């Protein structure tokens, strides 16, 4: 059976060709080292590679599982318990996983999705208790959930245990129809209502023009309940097949990467992103002994812009590697 480490190693080798390893990813050994500690069913795992679009090449790593998946092995038993519970839970979203800041001696951050439902506060409290989250800030998180309820389709909640001050992170996945509404009434005013300090007032309004992308806003909640100094904005590409995504980036979707380069947030490595979009048949032997072909694709998931103290700090790209079609089975004679 193909392990998650073997699968990730296979894709890293493919995506590193054509000079992309040195320019985009940098050292990828820590990713495979991390996957020695955790194992999941290869046919259900989704991997994310995240890397800056300017400056020193470096890649961090995310592992996402969907409802019903199980961790086969991991040294942190509280996360194994979470996935056992998550498989049969209601009121939560469809995914959960880990984010590893590689090169740092710190535990991974943990995230899960939360549906936009009236009982979210009760369900969220259960999850935080299950994961042993002892930090404060829960009441502030609940207040932010209430403030964003009208504009969010659902949320990602992050327990950023490896980050400075160990904040809770709220990622607000905005409803498609809200993008134009927010653009019309003013982004800065909306963000200020969410508790962002005054220094976000100069946030450029023109970012709201990119409504062809999905929007996710990222806010940190510190131990004292205040909103942290970092604000992240994800611009998500539509879910597509590789050929369609390449056409999107060559037509209406190309304005956004070009803008990043024009503002100095990205450099020539943008030209290499096209090579990260591809599909492959991955052969492997299932536990039943049958030869199966797992159809997988690597796609650009989103671009993340991060502001710190009101200044645009960096831009990153996220590549998603995941199954896209059911497994094809062949005889293993």
Q: Is 236 helix (H, G, I), strand (E, B) or coil?
A: strand
Question: How far apart are the C-alpha atoms of 63 and 79, rounded to whole Å?
Answer: 13
CA-wise closest residue to 15 among 32, 33, 2, 28: 28
Q: In this structure, is residue 302 part of a structural domain?
A: yes
pLDDT of residue 100: 85
Is the distance from CB of 50 to CB of 98 less than 8 angstroms?
Answer: no
Element holding 180 (H helix, E strand): helix 178-185
On the 0-12 / 13-18 / 19+ scale of CB atoms within 10 A, 137 is buried
Indicate the angle between helix axes 120-130 and 77-86, nearest 10 degrees: 150
CA distance 190 to 169: 18
308 is written with which tokens? 């710190």
What is the domain extent for residue 67? Answer: 4-324
pLDDT attached to residue 87: 72
Q: How far is CA 3 from CA 41, 78, 154, in A?
A: 7, 22, 31
Determine how many CB atoms are found less than 10 A away from the CB of residue 194: 18
**Dihedral, CA atoms, 207, 210, 211, 213, nearest 10 degrees?**
-110
Q: What is the DSSP letter of 295?
A: E
On whether residue 74 sits in a domain, the answer given is yes
Q: Which two tokens stand for residue 168?
A: 């809770």
For residue 120 the two structure tokens come to 């979210």
What residues are paired with 293 via a beta bridge? 283, 328
| 333 in a structural domain | no
pLDDT at 131: 76
pLDDT for 328? 55
> Residue 215 in 3-state DSSP?
strand
* Calpha distance 271→273 (Å, rounded): 6
Distance CA 123, CA 144 (A): 16
Q: What is the pLDDT of residue 323?
A: 80
Residue 332 maps to a domain: no
Domain tally for the chain? Answer: 1
Rounded to 5 degrees, what are φ and ψ at 268?
Answer: -65, -15
Q: Which two tokens stand for residue 33?
A: 């080292």
Low-confidence ranges of the chain (pLDDT < 50): 331-333
Q: Evaluate whether residue 330 is within a structural domain.
A: no
Determine whether 299 is exposed, middle or buried from the number of CB atoms within 10 Å of its CB (0-12, 13-18, 19+).
Answer: buried
pLDDT of residue 73: 59
Report the candidate in 258, 204, 262 with the shortest Cα–Cα distance to residue 233.
Answer: 204
Neighbours of 140 (CB within 10 A): 20
Q: Is residue 154 part of a domain?
A: yes
User: For 173-189, how does the pLDDT look when each residue is reduced to its tens digit (9 = 90+)?
Assistant: 998 888 877 776 677 77
**Closest of 7, 29, 49 to residue 319, by C-alpha:** 49
């Amino acid at each position: 059976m193909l392990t998650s480490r073997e699968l990730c190693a296979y894709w890293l080798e493919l995506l590193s060709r054509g000079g992309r390893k040195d320019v985009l990813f940098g050292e990828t050994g820590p990713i495979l080292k991390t996957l020695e500690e955790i194992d999941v069913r290869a046919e259900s795992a989704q991997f994310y590679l995240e890397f800056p679009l300017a400056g020193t090449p470096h890649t961090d790593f995310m592992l996402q599982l969907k409802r019903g998946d199980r961790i086969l092995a991991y040294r942190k038993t509280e996360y194994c318990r979470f996935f056992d519970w998550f498989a049969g839970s209601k009121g939560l979203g469809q995914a959960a996983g880990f984010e590893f800041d590689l090169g740092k001696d710190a535990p991974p951050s943990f995230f899960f999705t939360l549906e936009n439902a009236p009982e979210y506060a009760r369900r969220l409290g259960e999850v935080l208790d299950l994961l042993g989250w002892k930090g404060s800030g829960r009441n502030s998180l609940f207040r932010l959930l209430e403030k964003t309820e009208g504009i969010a389709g659902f949320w990602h909640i992050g327990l950023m245990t490896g980050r400075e001050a160990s904040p809770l992170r709220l990622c607000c996945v905005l409803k498609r129809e809200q993008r134009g509404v927010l653009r019309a009434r003013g982004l800065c005013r909306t963000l200020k209502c969410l508790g962002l300090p005054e220094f976000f007032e100069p946030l450029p309004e023109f970012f709201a023009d990119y409504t062809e992308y999905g929007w996710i806003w990222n806010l940190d909640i510190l131990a004292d309940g205040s909103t942290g100094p970092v604000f992240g904005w994800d611009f998500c590409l539509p879910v597509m097949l590789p050929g369609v995504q390449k056409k999107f980036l060559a037509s209406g979707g190309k304005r956004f990467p070009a803008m990043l380069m024009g503002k100095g947030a990205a450099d020539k490595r943008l030209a290499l992103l096209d090579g990260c979009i591809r599909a492959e048949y991955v052969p492997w032997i299932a536990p039943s002994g049958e030869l199966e072909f797992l159809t997988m694709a690597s796609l650009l998931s989103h671009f993340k812009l991060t502001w710190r103290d009101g200044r645009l700090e960096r831009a990153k790209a996220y590549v998603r590697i995941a199954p896209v079609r059911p497994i094809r089975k062949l005889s293993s004679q």
